[in-house]
Chain A
């Protein structure tokens, strides 16, 4: 191979004349194309993920810090119904304070009817009946209870609901995967 005089070079292997050819007259272009296809792909993936995890049931129940729902695997989707919230300290109805849970004992309510809660439930049933004349009252109620509430309180709440003709009891729970659930498998 004959020995030749090296020309001007940009690096070790890129000759400057090749760069000149690529940029036209040797001037650097001020416009640069940004490849936005990966960005659109990423945005699409995020939108799909968020749409799949979208749930409207959050509007039925409002999570509060003093109510930790128990986890369960076998569940049904929430439907709109009056919500009785039972924490260790209070009992509420549709977001309103009704009574202190510490007052709820079998001795204080020997007829198993929590009068303050019964008043709210009855008013709700009457309002529903007035708004849906001719329709049969289904008696659905959702009990949103903290996982450490004793059954002594729950049974009085359920009994009160039954006395107010709310006989279809739905227990609010936090849905978990099968592997996390305590199913004894």
Chain B
């Protein structure tokens, strides 16, 4: 086989220039590595979305501060997504459509709001009604992050209802 590292002498007595590298240890090492990596492999890539939160029942910013900050506010309900820039009336409403259309409309509305906010990376205050499922909130967060709205705060829905509804 391919074993043996020393060159074999030729018939004429001269040393051959051919040299065979012993590959057996390499194969052994590879086999051990493959076994280890297969055992420890994680096939689902888990990650996180980092947010702040202002959801505690007693959390409420002082009114003066509220007026100063121009945030993008989003309230997700079972029937629609309502959004505005702090203080703007009436809010933009995106009714719940089939998924593809709904997310396109939400994206388009959020892009419009982002362009109107003076801050480079405005804060997003996101809240949802009780029946809204977790995956819907994450999908809205993912759209926000895709648009560069990375400062997401999960807000108290009662506060947001006062702002948007």
Contacts and interface: CB of A to CB of B under 8 A. Distances in A.
Interface of A: 33-34, 36-37, 39-40, 43-44, 46-47, 50-51, 53-55, 57-58, 60-61, 63, 69-79, 106, 111-112, 142, 145-152, 154-155, 158-159, 161-163, 167-175, 181-185
Given A150-B130, A151-B137, A152-B130, A182 B142 contact: yes
A147 B33 CA distance: 36
A164 to B, nearest CB: 11
Interface residues of B, number: 57
Interchain residue pairs A-B with the least CB separation, the first 5: A184-B103, A75-B47, A184-B107, A74-B145, A58-B42
Contact of A173 (B43, B47, B108, B156): B47
A8 to B, nearest CB: 29
A170 B49 contact: yes
A6 B30 CA distance: 53
B134 A63 contact: no
Interface of B: 1-2, 23, 26-27, 30-31, 33-34, 37-38, 40-53, 55-57, 59, 99-100, 102-108, 128-135, 137-139, 141-143, 145-146, 154, 156-157
Nearest to A176: B45
A173 B137 contact: no
Contacts of B41: 50, 53-54
Nearest to B31: A43
A183 B103 CA distance: 6
A17 B96 CA distance: 85
Nearest to A161: B53
A170 B133 CA distance: 17
Given A58-B46, A174-B46, 8 more contacts: A57-B47, A74-B145, A76-B50, A147-B135, A154-B137, A170-B51, A171-B138, A172-B46
B103 A182 contact: yes
A58 B143 CA distance: 26
